[in-house]
Structure formats: C-alpha cells, structure tokens
Structure 1
C-alpha cells in the first residue's frame, strides 16, 4: 500500500459501476430493459433492481470508508498520530494495550469487525437477489401450469390464448432468473473487492504492529 494507491478501491468501484451503468444504458437503448420490466407482472425484477441499487450504494460508501482508513494508515506509517478515538481503526488498534502480540488477538478481531462487519449486509442482499430470481422461476412455472387447467375443454380458438399465457409464464421465469443472477454477480464482485481490501489493511496493520514491537 503506497500513498498514491490509497483511493484505488474507490476508483475500482467507480469503474465497475460505470461499466454497469453503460451496460444498463445499452439494454435500455435496445429496449431490452423495458421489455423485461413490462413483461414481469410479478414485479420481482423491479425488487431485484432496487436491491442491487441499495447494495451498490452500500458498497460505494464502504469503498470510501476503507479508502479513507487506508489513507490514515499511510499517515500513521509516516509518523502522524493525531487521530481522535474512533477516527482510524488502525490507530485505535495500534495504540491499544491489547495490540501487543503477547496480549492476544482481541483487538485485531475488533479491528477486523469494524473493517468488514458491515459487508455482511451486502452479502445478504447478494444472496437475496439470487433467491428472488429463483422465486420468480417458480412463480413463472406455476403461471405456466395454471394456464393448462381445463385443457381438455379447449378448442382451436383457445389455443392462441393458451400459448400467450404459457409464454408469459416462461418469460417471468427466465427474466427474473436472468436479472437475479446478473445482479448478484455484479454486487458480489463489489463486496469481494471490499473484503479483499479490508483483509489487506488488517494484515498490514498487524504486521506493522509486530515489526514495531520487535524494533523496540
């Protein structure tokens, strides 16, 4: 972690969101996005999209937070130590008596919780999007099967209506699954980046504490 890389995480998040926004614009421009939303009368796709927006907003806020914590850590390594309590998780760990290697790993666990504890919400939203997609699949197949009721009483004139109902059910099943999978993948990538950056920050802080103890 060098000083000129303290905002790398946030910039990577901005890049990923920009690419996602460009992909969304292209699907909107081609009319695919509108078609998916309008043909889904269960509105599950809308819920999945809203979950993705909320999860991405949380990931953006966390990327800013971790980038700032990385910047604080670089200042600590540069000799600056005038931080308020709770401002820098690295400084709170390094200045706590339990941070000494011989005193155990309690404060390291506290620092780790502060660094990535909120990410559990993001992973929950990621899993929720997959489950909503699977729910849409089940609902879509139920719609298809329900359209087959009274099949023995159908005549030729009812075949067209039956096919439309079956196509609508299949569309709901496929569209919700597609939106849920794509959204969960994109959101999972964001929180994977956050977890990896948090782990690197924690490891660098603990290593810095051990080196200072050995030097003293």
Structure 2
C-alpha cells in the first residue's frame, strides 16, 4: 500500500525497538506522547477553523468517516501497545529467572510457547505458529482498516471529479453572467476530491506509523522469546561416578 510504503521510508520506522520502548510500558508511553502531539495539532486546527471548513466543504461526509476510522484504530493501537508491553514485562521476568516453568502459561505468550515445546512429542513448528499469531495476528485487521482510509480518500476523489464532470456536461454554452455560479460548482467538486484525498493519505500515513512500530516491537518480542532457552532438565538419577559399567 502507498501509505505503508511511505511509512517504511521514514527514519527509524523499521528499526528495532528502542531502549525506551523496552522499558516498563515504554511502548504505550510513546504512543501516548504521539497521540498527544496529534491532539495538540487537532486543537490548533480547531482554533484556526479548519475542522468547520472541512465539514462545510465536504457534503459527502467521507472525510468525517476517515477521521472517525482513524481515531478508533488509533485507540486500538494504544490498547495493543499496552498488551505488548505487558508481554514484554513478563518475558523480562522469565529472562531474569532463567526459567519459563515456574509460572502458569495463562496470558503469557513466552511461557505458553516454551511449556508447549517442552511437552513430549511436541511439534515446535505449531507452537511457533501459535506464538506468531499471538504477536501479529490482530495487526492484520488494523492494516486492512488502514488501507480502507486510503480507499475512502480515493473514493472521495472520484466523487469530486464526477460532480465536476456533471456540471461541465450540463453547460450548453458559456454565459459570462453565470461564471460565478459555474466557478462555485467547479470548486465544490474539486474541494471534495482534494480534501478527501488529503485526509485519507494523512490518516493512512499517521496510522501506518503506529502499526509499523507495533509490528517491529512484536517481531523483537518473538525473537527474544525464541532466543531464550529453557534450562535443561536434570536427570533424577545421580551419575554413577566411579561405578563400573558392568555393575
């Protein structure tokens, strides 16, 4: 997608999680700071009257749909950042204790993976798929909604240019006395096309940046879970020491 392609080229978009992100609830706190900047920017636009003009200039209300979709998806991204942060804290506890078997595996992806792999005749590939689904599965729907924003923007563009074409098609002859009305109709169609496109692109890029960081954090969480090795099981029978093999 265009938005994801643009986001992937931003500095630091595909870099590994920073030390601040790995701190307790660090990813969630970064999301709060990011949303704070967006809310502050929205407040500045409100003070400038941009939101009121946006509503008046778009009778199709597609821009409002895009904004509501972006706000709802961003709130979900914040909740997901909290969940991933909690899993990171549990993984850090396991790494400090050097074991994944001292606590139950409920709501603990790392313990679930290692305890599942420790079972007799366990298929590690299946448990790896389960771990990947826990970490990345919910993100697929968010990326789909992110693409919908861009498609709604393009839909508004098509509608705007369609309105423009209809007004042009209704002109039998050019009358200088009707130039004001004609320009008003033409600028109305162009306004719908441009505003919907800009809103869809902006929402796509801003939400894509959030989802990109969630994906990178989840990738690192899975990698650290796989790299952590459970301690070998010690045999209950003590070594035979100096006893001969034949005894």
Q: Distance in 2 between matches of 1:97 and 1:85?
A: 12
How many residues align? The count is 214
Task: After the TM superposition, list the runs of 4 or more consecutive aligned residues in structure 1 that deviate by more than 4 angstroms.
Answer: 1-4
Is 1:59 the counterpart of 2:82? The answer is: no
Specify which structure has the higher proportion of helix.
Answer: 1
Tell me how far 1:149 sits from its aligned partner: 2.5
Q: 2:40 aligns with which of 18, 22, 26?
A: 22
Deviation per residue, 1:18-37 (Å, 9 max, x gap): 11111111111111122112
Is 1:124 the counterpart of 2:141? The answer is: no
Q: Distance in 2 between matches of 1:2 and 1:77?
A: 18
Q: In the alignment, which residue of structure 2 is the partner of 1:33?
A: 51
Q: 1:194 aligns with which of 214, 226, 232?
A: 214
- Normalising by structure 2, what TM-score? 0.79
Say whether the 8 Å CA contact 2:157–2:197 is kept in structure 1: yes
Q: In the alignment, which residue of structure 2 is the partner of 1:148?
A: 168
- Normalising by structure 1, what TM-score? 0.90
Note the 1:158-169 alignment, pairs <5 A.
158-169=178-189
Consecutive unaligned residues in structure 1, runs of 5 or more: none
Q: Distance in 2 between matches of 1:203 and 1:169?
A: 50
When residues 4 and 66 of structure 1 are mapped into structure 2, their CA distance, relative to the original with a 3 A threshold, is closer
CA RMSD of aligned residues (A): 2.5
Consecutive unaligned residues in structure 2, runs of 5 or more: 1-18, 236-247
Is 1:50 the counterpart of 2:68? The answer is: yes
When residues 3 and 78 of structure 1 are mapped into structure 2, their CA distance, relative to the original with a 3 A threshold, is farther
Quick check: which has more Rg, 1 or 2?
A: 2
Q: Distance in 1 between matches of 2:212 and 2:20?
A: 21
